[in-house]
């Protein structure tokens, strides 16, 4: 398989360690997105949630975020994630050069960003598709069966992590947690804006400051973001 078994095992051990009571779902999904890029040898990965408006919300992405952000936005209209949501199936496009009819806006944009192929793996909870993992590769051609399998496993882990509970019983709990995860992301984006304006830095730099602080203090990213917004935490970029 394309990723070594040891690296896979390490990732799942690390993920299992993270899934304790008080863990930071956004930080967890960002980490998962980055490990997915390494393990599946793809170029970029985004974790997308569908909300009650049936729109797509990017909740986490691998580090090369700026390059793919527009591609996630475009998928509100068309693209693999939207199809994945509608069909509940893994959507695979092995060569974006042949996808202009299928996705007249998304396919050229993805090629312009330097990608040759794209996948959307559903994040399922029983019969419901709650989100998708969106994988971008620079190369064209099919993924190996093992890679696909591993991608599914990682998507499952993302779902579990997202729902913050290994055995979710009630539908209400799912709704509560999905909505909380979405709102957490909004809060973090607002805090990035606050830091960007306060210190005249980029929003990306603002995010790095918050993440570094969260790790240093062992706090959740969303808590740090909340403190930043309330003006109770000063993060000095210098």
Partner 1 sequence: MSDNRIARVWTSIAACARREGAPVSLRHVCVACAAAVDAEGATITFSGGGNAVPGVLLSSRPSFDEVEELQVSLGEGPGVEAMRGLGPVLVDDLASLESSGRWPAFAPAAVALGVRAMFAFPIQTGAARIGVLNIYRSTNLPLLGSELADALAYASSALVMALDQRGGIIPDMDDPQNDASPHWRTEVHQATGMVSVQLGVGMADALASMRAYSYSNGRRLSDVAVDVVARRLRFEPDGPLATDSRDNETDRSAQTGTPREDEER
Kindly state whether residue 208 participates in binding partner 1, applying the rule CB under 8 A: no
Kindly state whether residue 177 participates in binding partner 1, applying the rule CB under 8 A: yes
Find the binder of partner 1 among 18, 34, 144, 180 (CB under 8 A).
180
Find the binder of partner 1 among 132, 192, 210, 235 (CB under 8 A).
192
Kindly state whether residue 189 participates in binding partner 1, applying the rule CB under 8 A: yes
Kindly state whether residue 64 participates in binding partner 1, applying the rule CB under 8 A: no
Count residues near partner 1 (CB under 8 A).
Answer: 40
Q: What is the DSSP string of the chain?
A: --S-HHHHHHHHHHHHHH-STT--HHHHHHHHHHHHHHHHT-SEEEEEEE-TTS-EEEEEE-S-HHHHHHHHHHTTTSSHHHHHHHH-S-EEES-GGG-TTT-TTHHHHHHHTT-SEEEEEEEEETTEEEEEEEEEESS-SPPPHHHHHHHHHHHHHHHHHHHT-SS---HHHHHHHHHHHHHHHHHHHHHHHHHHHHHT--HHHHHHHHHHHHHHHT--HHHHHHHHHTT-------
Lay out the site mask for partner 1 across 112-151 (x = CB under 8 A, - = otherwise).
----------------------------------------
- How far apart are CB 235 and partner 1 at their closest, in Å? 13
- How far apart are CB 60 and partner 1 at their closest, in Å? 12
CB closer to partner 1, 64 vs 94:
64
Kindly state whether residue 57 participates in binding partner 1, applying the rule CB under 8 A: yes
Kindly state whether residue 197 participates in binding partner 1, applying the rule CB under 8 A: yes
Find the binder of partner 1 among 12, 19, 69, 205 (CB under 8 A).
69
- How far apart are CB 192 and partner 1 at their closest, in Å? 5
What is the distance between the alpha carbons of residues 131 and 121, in angstroms, rounded to a whole number? 9
Name the site residues for partner 1 (rule: CB under 8 A).
51-55, 57-58, 69, 73, 76, 170-172, 175-180, 183-184, 186-198, 200, 203, 222, 226, 229-230
């Amino acid at each position: 398989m394309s990723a070594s078994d040891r690296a896979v095992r390490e990732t799942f051990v690390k993920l299992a360690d993270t899934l304790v009571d008080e863990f930071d779902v956004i930080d967890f999904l960002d980490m998962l997105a980055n490990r997915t890029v390494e393990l599946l040898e793809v170029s970029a990965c985004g974790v997308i949630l569908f909300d009650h408006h049936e729109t797509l919300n990017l909740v986490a992405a691998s580090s090369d975020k700026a390059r793919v952000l527009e591609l996630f936005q475009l998928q509100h209209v068309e693209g693999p994630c939207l199809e994945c949501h509608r069909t509940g199936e893994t959507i695979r496009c092995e060569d974006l050069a042949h996808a202009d009819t299928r996705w007249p806006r998304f396919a050229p944009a993805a090629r312009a960003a330097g990608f040759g192929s794209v996948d959307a793996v559903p994040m399922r909870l029983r019969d419901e598709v709650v989100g998708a993992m969106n994988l971008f590769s620079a190369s064209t051609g099919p993924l190996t069966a093992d890679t696909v399998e591993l991608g599914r496993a990682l998507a499952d882990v993302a779902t579990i992590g997202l729902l913050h509970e290994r055995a979710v019983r009630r539908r209400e709990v799912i709704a509560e947690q999905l909505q909380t995860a979405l709102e957490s992301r909004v809060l973090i984006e607002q805090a990035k804006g606050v830091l960007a304006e306060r210190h005249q830095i980029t929003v990306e730099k603002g995010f790095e400051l918050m993440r570094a602080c969260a790790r240093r203090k062992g706090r959740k990213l969303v808590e740090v973001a909340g403190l930043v917004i309330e003006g109770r935490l000063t993060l000095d970029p210098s």
